[in-house]
Amino acid sequence: MPDEVAKAPGVTSGTSLLGLVKHLTAVEFNWFVWAYEGADLPLRDDEIPPSEDETGAELIAAYRAAALRGNETVAACADLERPGARSLRETPPPSLRWVLVHMIEETARHAGHADIIRERYDGDIGR
């Protein structure tokens, strides 16, 4: 699908396919790198839509890099119950197990959103 279509809102809320990719990229970074690892880097805004200058290829590459970094965090962890450095919520830092389950839920929910938006574009039901 062309970038212009993938950036265009697919539903009345304004959500787009590449907007979902950009959102998940920020969420992956925020939970695994900023919160769990405690990296001295700024939080990423997970509500910013893709800019005119960003391409689908760039956004997808950034998501893949964020997922790879999360995978490296998991691989380096000897105890999934160990709390992370900090939390994105007003709670104690969660365990890596909690972060993993949360990210599975977050990604699955947005994959469903993406499928609906894609279906509106090409009509393929995808069951």
Q: Report pLDDT for 76.
A: 96
127 lies in a domain?
Answer: no
**pLDDT value at residue 122:** 77
How would you write the pLDDT of the chain (127 residues) with one tens digit per residue? 899 999 999 888 889 999 999 999 999 999 999 999 999 999 999 999 999 999 999 999 999 999 999 999 999 999 999 999 999 998 999 999 999 999 999 999 999 999 988 888 877 776 6
Residue 27 in domain: yes
Owning domain of residue 107: 3-122
CATH of the domain at 27: 1.20.120.450
Q: Let me know if residue 116 belongs to a domain.
A: yes
pLDDT at 120: 84
Q: How many domains does the chain have?
A: 1
Q: Do residues 94 and 83 touch, judged by C-beta distance below 8 A?
A: yes
Neighbours of 80 (CB within 10 A): 12
pLDDT at 127: 63
Return phi, psi of residue 83, to 5°: -65, 150
Q: What is the pTM of this model?
A: 0.92
Write out the two tokens for 69: 């970094």
- pLDDT recorded at residue 126: 65
